[in-house]
Structure 1
């Protein structure tokens, strides 16, 4: 992949063979953000587990103290009083069976997170083939299948993110914007890492945190010393 001059100059500031301390890594991420827009900062955490085994899955959700810097559109599947609660909490879209054809047939996906009350999961299950591959299916572990829709919507709006393993046993999640500055990004990162460490499966053997890196949208990756995080 061919890189531009700005990227190459930014990458020169990073020693690819070095494992940085957290404080130094976040100092560098701001210096190596090269885009004209406010780049998102992401964490990439490779775990010593095998996601093919059910007892080694790592999945959950955490509210970042400073949010992600991104406005999130919430869709809630609920009826009656719970639908009213979802609207009052600020959910952009609220509905039930009426939303099925819109999503299934019209390809409507103008939302970022889906919340559902447990009684609606039979309806939402019919959308599994559409929502599943996009990581949008509500899940009890992530707190998105719940009767407390007010709390769910409030937390999502406040900066709740879901983390889960991909097929290569890596978790990729946004932890804020470059404009947040070092301190806020570090606090968000620490909150995320604490949650991932607590979520370590009992079946996981050997080194749990294999590698940890951060990067801005257009910037180079910066490796963090995983031994200092446990």
Structure 2
């Protein structure tokens, strides 16, 4: 893969053999973010589990204290009072069967998170094949299948993110924007890591945190010393 001039210049600042302390890593991420837009800072956490086994899944949600810096569009599947509750809480789209049809027929995906009341999951289930691969399927563990619609929407809007393993046993999560500054990014990173460590499955054996890498949208990866996360 051919890299651009800015990326190559940024990569020279990173010692690929070094494990950086979290503060140092976040400061370096900011230095190596050279795009003309406010880049997102992402954490990539490889875990010592096997996601093929149900008892080794790691999935959940956490509210980042400073949010992600992104305006999150929330779609809620609900009816009656719960639909009105979702609208009042600030959901961007609220509906039922008609939204299923719109997604299926118009290939409509103008949303980032899907919330559903439990009674709507039979309807939402028809979208499993299209929402599942995109990581958009509502899930009780992530708090997106709930009767507490108002709480769910407000938390998502204020910075709640979902974390889950991909097929290679890595969790990819945003922890904010470069413009947040070191302190806010560090706060968000520690809260995310705390949640992932707490979610360690009982069936997981050996080293749980295999590697932790931070990077901006267009910047090089920076390895973090996982043992120093709470220092």
Please indicate the TM-score interval, normalised by the length of the shorter structure: over 0.9
Q: 1:215 Cα shift?
A: 0.2
What CA RMSD, in Å, does the superposition of the two structures yield over aligned residues? 0.8
SS in 2 for 1:174: strand
| Correspondence for 1:105 | 105
SS in 2 for 1:3: coil
| Correspondence for 2:87 | 87
Give me the whole-angstrom Cα distance separating, in 2, the residues matched to 1:188 and 1:99: 33
| Correspondence for 1:151 | 151
Q: 1:228 Cα shift?
A: 2.2
**1:48-197, aligned counterparts within 5 Å?**
48-197=48-197
Give me the whole-angstrom Cα distance separating, in 2, the residues matched to 1:153 and 1:210: 33
Q: Is the aligned partner of 1:43 residue 2:18?
A: no
**Moved beyond 3 Å, runs of 4+:** none
Q: TM-score, normalised by structure 1?
A: 0.99
Q: 1:23 Cα shift?
A: 1.0
TM-superposition CA deviations, 1:13-41 (whole Å, max 9, x none): 11000000011101101100010000000
- Structure 2 unaligned segments of length 5 or more: list them: none
TM-superposition CA deviations, 1:124-150 (whole Å, max 9, x none): 001101111100000000000000000
Give me the whole-angstrom Cα distance separating, in 1, the residues matched to 2:109 and 2:6: 35
Give me the whole-angstrom Cα distance separating, in 2, the residues matched to 1:186 and 1:100: 39
- Structure 1 unaligned segments of length 5 or more: list them: none
| Correspondence for 1:227 | 227
Q: Is the aligned partner of 1:14 residue 2:14?
A: yes
Give me the whole-angstrom Cα distance separating, in 1, the residues matched to 2:135 and 2:119: 21
> For the Cα contact (< 8 Å) 2:21–2:229, is it kept in 1?
no
Q: 1:78 Cα shift?
A: 0.4
Give me the whole-angstrom Cα distance separating, in 2, the residues matched to 1:29 and 1:99: 40
Q: 1:229 Cα shift?
A: 3.2
Q: Is the aligned partner of 1:30 residue 2:36?
A: no
Give me the whole-angstrom Cα distance separating, in 2, the residues matched to 1:199 and 1:162: 13
TM-superposition CA deviations, 1:74-117 (whole Å, max 9, x none): 00000000000000000010001111211111111110000000
Query: More deviation in 4-13 or 201-210?
Result: 4-13
Query: More deviation in 201-210 or 219-228?
Result: 219-228
Q: TM-score, normalised by structure 2?
A: 0.98
Query: More deviation in 4-13 or 212-221?
Result: 4-13
